[in-house]
Amino acid sequence: MAFARVVSFEGVSDERIEQMKQMADEAPPEGLDSSEMILLHDADGGKALAIILFDSEDAYRRGDEILNAMPAEDTPGQRTSVARYAVAMRMTS
């Protein structure tokens, strides 16, 4: 079963999103064993939602530890919530 780590942020600018995209391409967090990451951005509201998918509970647990240890300056903005979900359905076209 897959699991998702869903994190919401406030205070997220367009410039910060661009920086995050560059950081992810250049140096993703070491040891992070995620299968997919989706970053949603509400530019008008200055909010973002990060959805990181993991293929197993062990991968989720390790990823959660790695991401919780990240310095605040390495995140899109001020983290407002973190939640864990089982992936009940997943579709791509």
In tens digits, the chain (93 residues) has pLDDT values of 999 999 999 999 999 999 888 887 777 778 888 999 999 999 999 999 999 999 999 999 999 999 999 887 777 889 999 999 999 999 988
Indicate whether this model's pTM tops 0.75. Answer: yes
The CATH number of the structural domain formed by 3-86 is 3.30.70.100
Q: Where along the chain do its domains lie?
A: 3-86
Confidence (pLDDT) at 26: 78
What pLDDT was estimated at residue 89? 95
* Residue 77: predicted pLDDT: 87
49 close to 6: Cβ distance less than 8 angstroms: yes
What are the respective helix, strand and coil percentages of the chain, to the nearest 5? 30, 35, 35
